[in-house]
Structure 1
Amino acid sequence: PETFNAFYNLLEHSFSPLKLDDYSALNTLSVDDFIASKNGFHTVSSLVTLENNHVDALKAQFKNTPNTMVIDRQAINETLLGHLKSDFNTLILYSFAVVVLLLFLFYRNLKLTLVTCIPIMLTWCITIGIMGLFHIEFNIFNVIISTFIFGLGIDYSIFITNGLMQQQQTGIDTLPTYKTSVILSVITTLLGVGVLIFAKHPALYSISIVTIIGITSALLVAFTIQPILYDLLILKKRTLN
């Protein structure tokens, strides 16, 4: 007979709304993530998950609701990434201009500067082209690693130019030594960063795939196109003279 006494007592219990302090006792619900108060201003957030084709309808539904704002996280992230790409392209141009100036001051020869700078531009163009071919998009993570690839491409071009110059001046085939240094740098870089291609996390995978494409492109351009440029702009010119 007393089996349902707890239920009857619950019906006769006087309930009242819970206070925010009562919710803090629940480990499964973080109130601080949804309710914030500062300087007398209070905000309450509600998370809504929906399909992309319903986003505009939801925004329209709450457009004229007072004290209510709809925040689209995906739109914010896309805007942030767009500004990041724009700033990144600008910074790349500034960096490349400084690199060209430093190389010209170091070599004091416009043709040597071109021999070193053209492979850098080609590497960047090839990298962007391959990414577009395989539909690999830039994100916050691989944009950052791209600066690292850009710097390594500059190093490889400088090494090969110096090796070609020393080989021409001394008559000794020293270029293989420089190529070995570049290959060792490529191997260590791929072992350190390229191995992330086996990661299941999309961000780590994108960092790895962009690194592999960029470093491989820099290696191929430095070993194939750069010696041809040196022959065309330096050796043949001096032979004619």
Structure 2
Amino acid sequence: MRLLIVEDEALLLADLQKQFTAKGFACDTASDGEEALYLGREYDYDLAIVDLGLPKLDGMTVIQRWRDEDRNFPVLILTARGMWQDKVAGLEAGGDDYVTKPFQFEEILARANALIRRSAGFASPKLRFNGLQIDTGAKRAEVEGQPLDLTAFEYNALEYLALRSGQVVSKTELTEHLYDQDFDRDSNVIEVFIARLRKKIDPDNRLKPIATLRGRGYRFELPALQDT
């Protein structure tokens, strides 16, 4: 999953980037509102984490402009403001949830995962499909009750495709949401990961979870076993 983290406190920004990266997220960062506004216009993020007290352009204005321009990725607000009116204003500007500073990383991670999951239409952290279960909180998957031994990138590719079940996902889109911007997008690494993922999930070729659409990309095809 690809995040945009917007925070003007350099140490906090670096810490959040480090911890989210360690959890398998691809992270872009901005330290002021103008840069954040630009990045949110240019890239299709899975989530933006935005501090309200930013230089050049405050976070609330950034969120409002994104929404005015139909940038609909979920936004988690970071605020040091304790007044409930400020929290309400942030949500009404287009934010989806908020965390008040200081916070524990575990809380912001849980809220980030929940927002990403809900934006795809899933209420439970456990995504259940025919023969396959993906635990987005624990970042693991199992087939018919047997855990899968997946690398971090394999898991991330599986989760991204599953959250877009039935949708066509191009190789470019998958690459952009799994890797940093300087990743070599001309490589065949996505094809290798998908091939390996298929073998691990479906060695007997019974489930057929991921279809390849020549010239278009991939589509996750297992039916969901929960309300979406």
TM-score of the two chains, using structure 2 as the length reference? 0.26
Structure with larger RCO (C-alpha < 8 A, sep 6+): 1
Tell me which protein shows more strand as a share of its residues.
2
Looking at secondary structure, tell me which structure has more helix per residue: 1
Instruction: Determine which structure has more spread, i.e. the larger CA radius of gyration.
Output: 1
